[in-house]
Structure 1
Amino acid sequence: MSQSVDRALSILPLLAEGPADLGHVAGHLDVHKSTALRLLRTLRDHGLVYRQDDQCYRLGSRLFALAQGAMEQLDVREIAHPHLVALNDWIGHTVHLAVHEEGEVIYIDKIESRYPVRMYSRIGRPVAITVAAVAKLLLADLPEAERTALAEKLDYPMYTPRSTPDAATFLKELATVREQGWAADLGGHQETINCIGAPIRGADGRVIAAMSVSAPAAVLPQRELLGLLPLLRAAAEAVGLDCAGGTHPQKEERHTP
């Protein structure tokens, strides 16, 4: 770890004890005030510290948001699992749970279909990010600039004739997902498999995970799969409610079908 990073990180436990002025921070780090000020400004630029009117520094709100997000991701699989099991018991088809980590969307839980014809997927493996319903939900929730930058650097393999062909089409689809509040992969990854997904929102209304239901078209026609959307969305909302500690997640006003 570089000396500057080490020093900057050392400031955070200090401020966790309470606000501190520049001199106190410099003394704690055993550096000149100009060095401490440079480190504090960097942390402030990232929202990790905040300078009060009295010129003392305290922990910033961004740090608390990051901590909350980390806790939600650690807990979401455990919280969601019984909901996935219950949904699978009710409908009989494959149910997935996925999160967005380090530029990839990864399945973190899966309940298999009770039918002999199943979708191939594995927990811990990345999904086909340009076509998977869970990926569209997680990426659609990103800020617009981040969404655009990510879409423009992705590859767009044509798994089937229904796969997303390019960044412009992908961004248009993400905009639709944002508006309607759910996503679908209708033969985009495997021609014989259809999938629908719903977002799981944390206490701040942001999408922290996504649930999906997948089924072979031969077992469940597309129209019948789409008919399961209310059940899937209700299950995802229940997971979000549990993740938020029993308080309804605040979400942006969006149109629903």
Structure 2
Amino acid sequence: MSQTVDRALSILPLLAQGPADLGQVAERLGVHKSTALRLLRTLHEHGLVYRQQDQRYRLGARLFALAQEAVESLDVREIAHPHLVALGEQCGHTVHLAVIEDSEVLYIDKVESRYPVRMYSRIGKPVAVTVAAVAKLLIADLSEAERRALAERLDFPMYTPRSTPNAAAFLKELATVREQGWATDLGGHEESINCIGAPVRGADGRVVAAMSVSAPNVVVTADELLALLPLLRRTAEAISREYSGNAHHPAPATPALQKEIP
């Protein structure tokens, strides 16, 4: 029975590459056509594959519906929380998780710093979109048209002299974030607070959440915080792998990350 299930499941990645006929499926599985046909019929009955008029098979609509239902049932906060706690224990600083909803970026989880100096951020509270590292990561993943439209609607308050001053500067920074795969807020919201962020991605590679490590400069310098980027990104990749259900989700190489740090 296990061999039958294994063979049936092996058909799905094959058809994900495009429609295939009975002979191609049998050849790929290394079985007789009658065996391949029996497997295909079973998958067809469950809506996982569909036979076209040209007698080739492709993935069925039921498979996509199941995938969508699985994605919608996932709770990124529940999956991420143990990783956030572990990261907080390792580095000792405040760790956040944020998502974007209706052009607003919200914190959905927080692990407090072990140091007596605490941040005033709260779960459910919107973040400062134009300066926060998590916001930059989430907005940078939008399409170019969406990024531009959002930038034109935003106000750009100068919280500190390091705040993003206007839409052009914001779009330029988002382009950098897209290219390098991480973001910072070095005194842009509060002069005394620095922050680094990394994206959490779904199975399709899109950013579903963003996480960050923040610390006051009386505890660590900006350079010392930036040195935690490899650890932060490894944690984000671990969450991404678990969230997407992909054990082979690529993890960034530490040496390359170290070169990225300014």
What's the TM-score once normalised by structure 2's chain length? 0.70
Q: Secondary structure at the match of 1:218?
A: coil
Could you tell me which amino acid in structure 2 is paired with residue 199 of structure 1? P
Looking at structure 1, the residues matched to 66 and 177 of structure 2 have their Cα atoms a distance apart, in angstroms, of 28
Looking at structure 2, the residues matched to 150 and 68 of structure 1 have their Cα atoms a distance apart, in angstroms, of 30
Q: In the TM superposition, what whole-angstrom CA distance separates every residue of 1:159-206 from its partner, at most 9, and x where no partner exists?
A: 111111111100000000000000000000000000000000111111
The aligned residue for residue 70 of structure 1 is 72
The aligned residue for residue 164 of structure 2 is 164
The aligned residue for residue 152 of structure 1 is 152
Looking at structure 1, the residues matched to 215 and 114 of structure 2 have their Cα atoms a distance apart, in angstroms, of 11
Structure number with the bigger relative contact order (C-alpha 8 A, sep ≥ 6) is 1
The 5 Å alignment of 1:33-182 reads: 67=69, 69-72=71-74, 75-182=75-182
Q: Secondary structure at the match of 1:155?
A: coil
Runs of at least 5 residues in structure 2 that lack an aligned partner in the other structure: 1-51, 55-59
Deviation at 1:66, TM superposition (A): 6.1
Looking at structure 1, the residues matched to 140 and 236 of structure 2 have their Cα atoms a distance apart, in angstroms, of 16
Counterpart check, 1:194 vs 2:197: no
Looking at structure 1, the residues matched to 249 and 106 of structure 2 have their Cα atoms a distance apart, in angstroms, of 23
Select the structure of larger CA radius of gyration.
2
User: Compared with structure 1, are the counterparts of its residues 152 and 228 closer, same or farther at alpha carbon in structure 2 (3 Å cutoff)?
Assistant: same
2:203 touches 2:246 (CA, 8 Å); kept in 1? no
Could you tell me which amino acid in structure 1 is paired with residue 205 of structure 2? G
Q: RMSD value over aligned CA atoms?
A: 2.4
Could you tell me which amino acid in structure 2 is paired with residue 157 of structure 1? P
Could you tell me which amino acid in structure 2 is paired with residue 70 of structure 1? E
Q: Secondary structure at the match of 2:245?
A: coil
Deviation at 1:70, TM superposition (A): 3.1
Number of residue equivalences: 198
List structure 1 runs of 4+ shifted beyond 2 angstroms: 58-72, 246-251
1:77 touches 1:109 (CA, 8 Å); kept in 2? yes
Looking at structure 2, the residues matched to 172 and 66 of structure 1 have their Cα atoms a distance apart, in angstroms, of 34
Give the fraction of aligned pairs with identical amino acids, expressed as a percent. Answer: 69
1:105 touches 1:127 (CA, 8 Å); kept in 2? yes
Could you tell me which amino acid in structure 1 is paired with residue 114 of structure 2? R
1:203 touches 1:248 (CA, 8 Å); kept in 2? no
